[in-house]
Amino acid sequence: MMLDISVLDVKITLSILMSNEKLPDVCACNGKSVKRMFNPKQLRIYILHLLIDGANYGYELIKKIGQETAGFYCPSPGVIYPTLTLLEELGFIAAGKESGKGRKCYTITPEGRCFLLLKADIFSEVKMKLDYAQELRAGNLFANEIECAVDKFKSLLRHKIVLQQLTCEESAKVVNIINSAVDRIEQVNAALVVED
C-alpha cells in the first residue's frame, strides 16, 4: 500500500508536533456551547493533536477544547470518554493510571502520531474551525460597537419612516436588505455546527 503524503501535510503535522502551548486551567464554556462543532473523525484527530504535548485525562481534554474553541464548544464526558476508548482500542493512545488519584491519563502512541500525520487534511479542517471560533470571540469583544451600530440604524429608519421619506419601492428594498443581513448573521453561528 502506497502512502500519499504531501509537503503541506508534513508541514502541518510538524507544526502540530512542535506546538507546546499551555492553556489556563479554566473552562471557557460557561455552560453555553454549540451542539456539535466537530464530526466524529474531526474530534478523534483533534484529541490526538491535544495529546501530542503530553499525558492528559478526560476532564483536562474537555477544558482544553472549551478554551481552544473560545467557549463555543465543550464536549460532554459522554462524548469524550467513548472517543478515548475507541482511540485506545485502535492503538492510537495508551491509558495509564495517575499516581495518587486513580484516574486514567492518556498519551499518544507512535501509531497515533503516524495516523495524525496521515490525517493532516482532517486536522486542517479542525484548525479552520478553531480559527473561526477565535475570530467570533474577537467579534464578541466588539459587542458595544455592534449595539451602537444597530441603534444608529434603527434611529435612521425611524426618522425616515416618521417623515415618510421612503417610497413603497425603497421600503421594499430596505426590508430585503434587513432580511438578508439577518440571514447572514444567523449563518455565523450555523457555520460552527456540523450536520449529522
Helix (H, G, I), strand (E, B) or coil at 52: coil
pLDDT at 6 over 80: no
pLDDT at 105 over 70: yes
Domain 7-20+31-139, architecture per CATH: Orthogonal Bundle (1.10)
Q: Determine contact, residues 24/70, Cβ cutoff 8 Å.
A: no
**What is the reported pLDDT for 3?**
38
Q: Where are the domains of the chain?
A: 7-20+31-139, 143-191
Burial class (CB in 10 A: 0-12, 13-18, 19+), 27: middle
pLDDT at 25 over 80: no
